[in-house]
Chains A and B, each alone.
Chain A
Amino acid sequence: MRARTPFTVFRVVALTVVVLTLIAPLVWMVAASLKTNVDIYDPGKALAFTPTLENYTKVLQQANYVDFIVNSLWIAFASTVLSLLIGVPAAYSMSRFAMRRSALVVLMARVIPAVSLLVPWYYVFSNLKMVGGFSVLILSHMFVALPLIVYIMMGYFDGLPLELEESALVDGLTPIGAFRRITLPLSTPGIATAGILSFIFSWNNFMFALVLSGADTKTLPVAIFDFVGYASIDWGGLMAASTVVTVPIMVIALFAQKYVVSGLTAGATKG
């Protein structure tokens, strides 16, 4: 099917508009993070300005952002690994034994408004003196990661042919052995997809840490939110902080583009 020229022109124009709309705000954010606050208020210096790293040094040194980066990394990493550990075998069982009702229970976690869980969690965890600690943040982020992982991995296992496992059984492996030595190694792309997405969702999560984190365990999104809590907004600092939280995740997404896309669209085209 050859497209005719007017359509090609229209397509190029339309897609340029789309790309500009999607990218321009991000460029604007990064540009503002490299400006002094005086330049931010000067419309004449929208793009022609002398870049400065002042905002970044301010944010990274004075505002303890390095600590928050480490917190966010640790919570995202731990919750992803733990969710993979319990989520992958569960997804395998739910796929192979068609446990659709159990799967539905896990997926309910995606539907329930998180606020309704936070009050009971807060009560129980504050009685256990856990509020403000890493363990409760990791647990709460697992709540986001687990349904995601189960959903993606169930789809993945559904698509793996049974024959490989069956021939492994014939060759003398136990069913668990076949899962460990045959199915798991074959599932690496699926696990990578699930792991990367769960890391991104945990890194971006705001509400759980807003309620459950303490001064030492604050994650980046909460730290950014606290930035505007006082009097007038330091736009340069705020944009530097926002850049610090978004750019790493965008870099990860770019390098793992294939996995991110397949995870986000998982199950979308099945009946």
Chain B
Amino acid sequence: MSASTIESSARPLAPARATPTWSRWANDHRKWLFAAPAMAFVAVLIVFPVAWTVWLSLTDAEGSVRAEHSFIGLGNYLTVLTDTTRFWPAVLRTLEFTGGVLVVEVVLGMAIALLLWRPFRCEKWVRVAILLPLVATPVAVGMMWRLIFDPNIGLANTVLGWFGIGPQPWLAGEQSALPTTMLIDIWQWTPMVVLILLAGLTSLSDEPLEAALIDGAGAWQRFRHIILPLMMPTVIVAILLRGIDALKTFDILYATKGKGGGSFHEVETLNVYAYGLSFDYNEYGISSTVLIIFFLIIVGSMWVLTSRKKEAA
């Protein structure tokens, strides 16, 4: 078809330079022509580094990135998987952090989304308040909470004092540091869950709810038997999106506790551990091994969730 000739006669100024052959070729191959730059970018910046990481995990690379390294097979995997001082505690912290924040964020997020569901006055201002933590720079958020959780001058202990509760060590305590960072994550990211669930609630059709109301179902019954089942796919999307990021949390942990997750590694999750191995200790072989295992954990949990989503849908 001579679509291009019609086009150039109608608009003589625009594509006159493009020869019909080139133009036709471009149009015929636009599928790949459009996708190619992005795909090439991804291939060069991801596929190659991932392959390299797999290779490094099978070598004894350490010290300088340029240093010689030799193939040692699965030696690193054996070292890492039998390491009960740093690796396994980091796995447990990662799971505790992710599981903990997900449960709280989804429950709180659902409660807040239900409160916001039906329109009301001042709705606009509540929505603004919800958006602010979400877009705040995580490193700055970490610093902000460091001041608030400071055991001596922090606002947190002052507020506890109002209720007659004694001062807590918060981020400074060996036991309390990880739960405190979880609180920070909950503050920043519950709004994200609220937004996603609210989008889901708004797109629910009214009929099943009205029918339930006519049948005399109470608020809890309506939530438990109508809203929750209908919302399940959206809830799983929220868990999926939030879960990927929670597993990989780095900024607030590094900003509040610094290298190695604090002096007792009290907030050292897998991501913080792998970062430290790579850039504080230059243990590239071990770090690549940790990263591969970490990646498998992420993909595994995503796979479980997506299959649950298909069941729920």
Residues on A lying within 8 angstroms of B by beta carbon are 1, 3, 11, 14-15, 18-19, 21-26, 28-29, 32, 40-41, 43, 46, 85-87, 89-90, 92-94, 96-97, 99, 102, 105-106, 108-123, 126-127, 139, 142-143, 146, 150, 169, 172-177, 179, 200, 203-204, 206-207, 211, 220-221, 224-225, 227-228, 233, 235, 238-239, 241-243, 245-246, 249-250, 252-254, 257, 260-261, 264-265, 267-269, 271
Contacts and interface: CB of A to CB of B under 8 A. Distances in A.
Nearest to A29: B144
Contact of B274 (A3, A113, A172): A113
A99 B38 CA distance: 13
B313 to A, nearest CB: 6
Interface stretch (B39-47, B74-82, B98-106, B165-173): B39-47
Interface of B: 3-4, 6-7, 10, 15, 23, 26-27, 30-35, 37-39, 41-42, 45-46, 48-50, 52-53, 56, 65-66, 111-112, 115-116, 118, 120, 125-141, 143-148, 153, 155, 158, 187, 191-192, 195-196, 198-200, 203, 210, 213, 233-234, 237-238, 241, 244, 248, 250-251, 254-255, 258, 271, 274-275, 278-279, 284, 287-288, 291-292, 294-295, 298-299, 302, 313
The 3 closest A-B pairs by CB, nearest first: A90-B38, A242-B140, A120-B49
A253 B248 contact: no
Contacts of B38: 86-87, 89-90, 106, 146, 150
B interface: dominant SS: helix
A172 B278 contact: no
A265 B66 CA distance: 43
A19 B137 contact: no
A136 to B, nearest CB: 11
Contacts of B187: 21-22, 25
B27 A116 contact: no
B125 A19 contact: yes
Contact of B115 (A14, A86, A93, A246): A14
Most chain B beta-carbon contacts within 10 A, residue among A15, A211, A238, A254? A15
Contacts of A264: 134, 192, 195-196
B131 A207 contact: no
Contact of A90 (B35, B155, B241): B35
Contacts of B65: 119, 122-123, 126
Given A115-B275, A265-B195, A268-B238, 16 more contacts: A22-B187, A43-B153, A94-B35, A106-B38, A119-B284, A120-B48, A143-B45, A172-B3, A172-B6, A173-B7, A175-B27, A177-B7, A211-B279, A241-B140, A249-B136, A264-B134
Contacts of A89: 33-35, 37-38
B53 A120 contact: yes
Contacts, number: 281
B201 to A, nearest CB: 9
Contacts of A32: 147
Given A28-B144, A99-B35, A172-B10, A139 B284 contact: no
A150 to B, nearest CB: 7
B255 A225 contact: yes
B132 A109 contact: no
B276 to A, nearest CB: 9
Contacts of B244: 110-111
A109 B42 contact: yes
Contacts of A14: 111, 115
A249 B144 CA distance: 16
A25 to B, nearest CB: 6
B41 A146 contact: yes
A193 B281 CA distance: 40
Contacts of B10: 172
26 contacts: A1-B213, A18-B115, A18-B126, A18-B129, A25-B144, A93-B34, A106-B38, A111-B302, A112-B295, A113-B248, A115-B291, A116-B49, A116-B291, A117-B49, A150-B38, A173-B3, A173-B7, A204-B136, A207-B251, A257-B127, A257-B128, A260-B131, A268-B237, A269-B199, A269-B200, A269-B203
